[in-house]
Amino acid sequence: MSGNHRDSLSATVFLIILFMLIGTGAAFGEGAASVAGSGGAIWGADYFPDVPLVTHEGKKVRFFSDLIKNKVVAINFIYTNCPDACSLETARLREVQKILGERVGRDVFIYSITIDPAYDTPEVLKRYAEKFQIGPGWLFLTGKEADITLLRKKFGLYNEEGRSEKLQEHNLSNIIGNQATGQWMKSSPYENPYVLATQLGSWLHNWKMPPGARKDYSDAPQIRNISKGEELFRARCSACHTIGAEDAAGTKVRPIGPDLLNVTRKRDRTWLIRWMKEPDIMLAEKDPLAITLLAEYNGVPMPNLKLNSTDIQDLFEYIEEESHRAEHHRHGEHEHHHH
């Protein structure tokens, strides 16, 4: 985990320990039933408020009884105008949804709750979900501000000091859990989507995988020594971007951002460096290229990922290496067809 992660996710570790102390036993072995009973009871209706919320489809639901009771869930708090990592979190969870496939909405549920209910009406949330082509089993929710703040406090995601809290400073963690067994933990939005999918699909289901679900993991990245640039690309960029992907056109879900093959050669370097550092400012200034890209990619803005010059240099090197490899691969196939 690089230093950058520590800035944006300072509180992450704190609650993992707290949550895992309760009910971890439920995931392993014999005493599951008794531990599950107590874990579920501790983190039950007495702990979680049954506040009313409204879905992006305009349906009224109750937080505990309709959304989390006896379910395995991933929950995050976002707002649709967020210039930073909310769109990255949404893109990352979209990858998790793709990996888990039809299980989302069946035995795993995803909920994104707005922290800006004044702006994020059900209609606004519906447009946001459509922008990211969100599939079934994932609800975007709004409600009364006081009720949403109460939920954030219950999940340890509310900064008590910052009462006049700026939206940008909201805690970026996802929460994943199984209400019945009382297993809950925080996870970073930079988490590898395969790790998150395994936690939601296996660990929280006491390692019971439905038959045939294993094949979804065949394209998980191989473990090997990876460069700083690749690590950054996977954590910050891969949820929205590919480098020379040929299969992107074949899939129903379109990529959130442009393919980055040879982007360091195609774009003016000074422009590109600034774009990676402060895309929010460039969009606010109505930079013509930034505005064109925004329109072309469904109105999803590039988030400000808090990258420094070294990070950007490392990413450029990785993108250049991958572009070279992708072109080499294509060239080889081209030659092969000619013979």
pLDDT at 16: 44
More confident site: 209 or 119: 119
- What percent of the chain is modeled with pLDDT above 70? 73
Indicate the pLDDT class of residue 248, thresholds 50, 70 and 90.
Answer: very low
CA–CA separation, 93 and 239 (whole Å): 9
More confident site: 144 or 26: 144
pLDDT at 213: 45
pLDDT at 37: 43
Domain ranges of the chain: 3-217, 228-338
Of 26-40, 42-56, 142-156, 243-257, the range with the highest mean pLDDT is 142-156
Q: Which of 67-76, 188-197, 279-288 has the lowest mean pLDDT?
A: 188-197
Across the range 71-76, mean pLDDT stands at 94
pLDDT at 149: 93
Across the range 136-144, mean pLDDT stands at 96
Where do we find the tokens 């000619």?
338
CA–CA separation, 281 and 38 (whole Å): 50
| Superfamily of domain 3-217, CATH level 4 | Glutaredoxin (3.40.30.10)
CA–CA separation, 254 and 191 (whole Å): 22
Architecture field, domain 228-338? Orthogonal Bundle (1.10)
Sort residue 207 into left (φ over 0), alpha (ψ -120 to 50) or beta.
Answer: left
Q: Where are the alpha helices (DSSP H) in 43-188?
A: 86-100, 122-131, 145-154
Indicate the pLDDT class of residue 193, thresholds 50, 70 and 90.
Answer: confident
Q: Which of 14-28, 93-107, 240-254, 303-317 has the lowest mean pLDDT?
A: 14-28
Q: Which of 36-45, 71-80, 163-172, 177-186 has the lowest mean pLDDT?
A: 36-45
Q: Is the pLDDT of residue 261 over 60?
A: yes
CA–CA separation, 238 and 189 (whole Å): 12
Q: Is 186 helix (H, G, I), strand (E, B) or coil?
A: strand
pLDDT at 23: 39
pLDDT at 288: 92
Q: Is the pLDDT of residue 5 over 50?
A: no
pLDDT, one tens digit per residue, over 209-246 is: 554 444 445 555 555 567 888 888 888 888 889 888 75
Mean pLDDT score of the chain: 79
Across the range 46-69, mean pLDDT stands at 94
CA–CA separation, 231 and 331 (whole Å): 27
pTM, entire model: 0.67
More confident site: 267 or 239: 267
Cα separations (Å) of 145 from 49, 68, 130, 283? 14, 20, 24, 29
CA–CA separation, 69 and 12 (whole Å): 24
* Same fold flag, 3-217 and 228-338: no
